[in-house]
Amino acid sequence: MHFSFLHILLFATLLPLTASAADKDPYGMFPQPSEDQQRYIIEVPKEESEEDYRIQLFIGREQMADCNQRVLFGKLERKELKGWGYHYYVVNDLNGGMHTMMRCKEPPQKRFVAMQSDLLRYNSRIGTVVYVPKGYEVRYRIWRADDTMKEAQKR
């Protein structure tokens, strides 16, 4: 195929435009949230041994609650981003959950009530993408394995 100088010039002019669009939204390949969802992205710093780290998600919301321990129930579904080799997570069936029944001395106050997830893979190259119902938010905790490996006792 033969390219003229004009073709090369046009390609060279358009190339930075496509690169800058990708720089603006590195998550553009992920689906846009539906009308009743919002998308959260957790970006974590690079670590030397990332296989020793995990991310724990807490999907919930602030609400008035007494001293009792509360937990929401929901389903965290891992989905594959076809053609990219990445995964993302969708929270479904989020509901009121359960709580303990202790007698409380202090009045209710605003607390973050959440469902907990399993520990997810830590990846500093691309963020963890999570879709949750509107009105909820995503918080997370980083877990790190201890450097010391202990030996179990045989019995």
C-alpha 14/C-alpha 101 separation (Å) is 64
Read off the pTM. Answer: 0.76
- Sign for the CA dihedral angle at 29, 35, 37, 43 comes to positive
Q: pLDDT digits over 29-79, tens only?
A: 999 999 999 999 999 999 999 999 999 999 998 888 877 777 788 899 999
Tell me the mean pLDDT in the region 77-98. 88
Q: Please give the residue range of the domain that contains residue 69.
A: 37-98+108-144
Q: Which residues, in sequence order, are CB contacts of 58 under 8 Å at separation 6+?
A: 112, 114, 115, 116, 117, 138, 139, 140, 141
Q: Residue 16: which H helix or E strand, with range?
A: helix 5-24
How confident is the model at residue 18, as a pLDDT?
46
CATH number at residue 41: 2.60.40.550
Contact by Cβ (8 Å): 118, 75: no
Q: Is residue 24 part of a domain?
A: no
Q: In sequence order, which residues have a C-beta less than 8 Å from that of residue 13 and are 6 or more positions away?
A: none
Task: Note whether residue 10 is domain-resident.
Answer: no
* Residue 66 falls inside a structural domain: yes
Domain count, the chain: 1
* Residue 71 is assigned to a structural domain of this protein: yes
Does some domain include residue 20?
Answer: no
Contact 91, 74 (CB under 8 A): yes
Whether residue 60 is contained in a domain is answered as yes
10: left (phi over 0), alpha (psi -120 to 50) or beta: alpha
Please give the pLDDT value at position 137: 95
